């Protein structure tokens, strides 16, 4: 197995509806994102997935979040834009854009700060 990952980031505002604390108030983060693709074999160039392909695909998805009030986006109208839901959103959008017999999306990690975050592995 080969795990290929890229790291990126985005800035955005949000608030957590019905949260019993300060996070219920509008605030922002500079989220860090790590996306990992797992390859079971290599292509004819000796790669699981080209970094260039992965970066372009992830950028297309993360740009939908960058510099937005996440609560106003359609994906977060019915559920809070928590780190968990943000990771799930990124995972589902990236997964839909990637297709190969060699690799598949493995995980998305979202960090609100350098010291806290979570990893989503899909359903």
Task: Examine the residue annotation and report whether 112 is marked as an active-site residue of this protein.
Answer: yes
Catalytic option among 9, 24, 67, 84: 67
d(CA 97, CA 74): 19
> What's the chain's Rg over C-alpha atoms?
15
Active site residue 67: yes
Candidates 75, 51, 72; CA nearest to 61 is 75
Helix (H, G, I), strand (E, B) or coil at 1: coil
Count the Cβ atoms, other than its own, within 10 Å of residue 56. Answer: 12
SS (H, E, C) 19-65: CCCHHHCCEEEEEEEEEEEEECCCCCCCCCCCHHHHHHHHHHHHCCC
- The catalytically annotated residue of 15, 23, 85, 95 is 23
Q: From the candidates 15, 85, 95, 112, give the one annotated as an active-site residue.
A: 112
Catalytic annotation present for 23: yes
Which residues are part of the catalytic machinery?
23, 67, 112
């Amino acid at each position: 197995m080969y795990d290929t990952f890229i790291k990126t980031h985005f800035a955005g505002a949000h608030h957590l509806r019905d949260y019993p604390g300060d996070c219920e108030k509008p605030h922002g983060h500079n989220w860090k994102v790590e996306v990992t693709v797992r390859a079971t074999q290599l292509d004819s160039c000796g790669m699981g997935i080209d970094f260039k392909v992965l970066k372009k695909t992830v950028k297309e998805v993360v740009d939908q979040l960058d510099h937005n009030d996440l609560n106003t986006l359609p994906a977060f109208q019915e559920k809070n834009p928590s780190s968990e839901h943000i990771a799930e959103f990124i995972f589902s959008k990236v997964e839909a854009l990637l297709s190969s017999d060699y690799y598949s999306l493995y995980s998305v990690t979202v960090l609100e700060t350098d010291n806290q975050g979570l990893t989503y592995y899909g359903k």
